[in-house]
Amino acid sequence: MNAANDEIFAQIKAIVIKTFRLPDDAQVGSATTAADVEGWDSLSHAVLIMNVEEAFHTDLPLERVYAVKDLGELANLVREAMAASA
């Protein structure tokens, strides 16, 4: 993972912690999935995606946002969307 991706992932991690009201030191990594986080269901997933879109000022491709398997894939999606809109 390069520096830009590190930064993107760090922001996503902060958004996940805030969205799901996790403790600041929660173990959240690129392999973290919805099953690992209490309260992360399909509905709160939509809230998470909207928070991510707002933070990165980008729209993510809706046909893919419900298929991401973990936070690493979400970070990749953000990177692709940002590159496409640059």
Partner 1 sequence: MTPGARSVLVYGDAQAEAIALVLQSLPAVAERNRIVYVRDDGTSDVAAETAEACDRFFEQRSSKPFNPGLTIPKKAKRVRFPVLELHLLWPFCCPNPFNVPEPPEFPVGRFPCADTFIINCAEQGMPAPLIRRRYVPEEWPAVWPSLDRSFQMESARLSAQDAQSDVKIGSFILKYFRKARLFWAVNVPANRLLAEVIYRLIDAGFDETERCAREDIEAAVAGFSPRELLGGVSNPVHPLVAEHFALEWYDRDEALACPGDRELTFDQYTAELIDDIIRTRGRAAGKTPA
Q: List contacts with partner 1 (CB under 8 A).
A: 21, 34-35, 39, 41-47, 49-50, 53-54, 59, 62-63, 65-67
| Continuous segment of H or E residues that includes residue 10 | helix 3-19
Give min distance, CB of 27 to partner 1, in A. Answer: 20
Give min distance, CB of 2 to partner 1, in A. Answer: 29
Query: Per the structure block, which two tokens stand in for 29?
Result: 């990594």
Nearer to partner 1, 7 or 59 (CB): 59
Judged on CB neighbours under 10 Å (0-12, 13-18, 19+), 9 is: buried
